[in-house]
């Protein structure tokens, strides 16, 4: 499967390396955000603006879009339909082979597509996404809150209700 990769390098550190790297992997490449001038890093492009890459992927009919941040340690992926594939889905697809490096994660993702001969949307769809709820509560003394009997009882009740199928942080 010849893979067409759309790259958004955020006018940053991956601007020349990513293009050469994916060319060496025999990918067809379309790129944006690859003209750093020292002042335009992350300026309206890159992983903080994935909607631009999503439109670019659809326009160029790419199989996958990869957006990096300025220093290249963060990656946002976009499937062939312009849908953003989040970090949880990327970890699932990579089978928890995490690296903490955006460029290496991108290579692994494209390699998985080549080996499985599946589109990114197909791989991402294999993960069941469960509802999540994050509630942050500001407190002045975190230690006192964790030692509070009422709070401890509520946490114990919720953990019992979850029965190992969730967690309280």
Percent of the chain with pLDDT over 90: 45
148 domain residue, yes or no? no
Compute the C-alpha angle 158/159/165, nearest 5°: 115
Residue range 40-65: mean pLDDT, rounded: 96
Residue range 25-37: mean pLDDT, rounded: 93
Number of domains in the chain: 1
pLDDT of 98: 58
> Is-contact 64 110, C-beta < 8 A?
yes
Per-residue pLDDT at 96 exceeds 60: no
In this prediction the pTM is: 0.64
> Is-contact 105 119, C-beta < 8 A?
no
pLDDT of 111: 87
Which has more pLDDT, 67 or 131?
A: 67
150 domain residue, yes or no? no
Distance CA 141, CA 123 (A): 44
Domain residues for 87?
A: 4-125
158 domain residue, yes or no? no
Q: What is the CA radius of gyration of the chain?
A: 20
Per-residue pLDDT at 1 exceeds 60: no
Closest by Cα among 89, 134, 106, 150 to 5: 106
20 domain residue, yes or no? yes
27 domain residue, yes or no? yes
Residue range 17-30: mean pLDDT, rounded: 90
3-state SS, residue 128: coil
Residue with tokens 């967690």: 167
Which residues lie across from 68 on neighbouring strands?
75
CATH number at residue 110: 3.40.120.10
Closest by Cα among 47, 103, 113 to 80: 113
pLDDT of 99: 59
Residue range 127-143: mean pLDDT, rounded: 79
**pLDDT classification of 6: cutoffs 50, 70, 90:** very high
DSSP-based helix, strand, coil % in the chain, nearest 5: 40, 15, 45
């Amino acid at each position: 499967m010849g893979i067409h990769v759309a790259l958004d390098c955020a006018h940053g550190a991956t601007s020349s390396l990513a293009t050469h790297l994916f060319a060496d992997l025999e990918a067809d490449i379309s790129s944006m955000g690859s003209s750093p001038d020292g002042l335009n890093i992350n300026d309206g492009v890159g992983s903080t603006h994935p909607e631009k890459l999503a439109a670019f992927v659809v326009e160029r009919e790419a199989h996958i879009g990869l957006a990096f941040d300025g220093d290249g340690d963060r990656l946002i992926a976009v499937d062939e339909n312009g849908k953003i594939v989040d970090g949880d889905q990327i970890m699932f697809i990579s089978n928890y082979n995490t690296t903490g490096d955006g460029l290496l994660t991108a290579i692994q993702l494209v390699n998985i597509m080549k080996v499985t001969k599946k589109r990114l949307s197909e791989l991402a769809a294999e993960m069941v996404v469960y509802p999540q709820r994050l509630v942050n509560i500001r407190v002045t003394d975190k230690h006192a809150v964790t030692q509070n009997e009422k709070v401890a009882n509520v946490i114990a009740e919720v953990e019992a209700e979850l029965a190992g199928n969730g967690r309280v942080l």
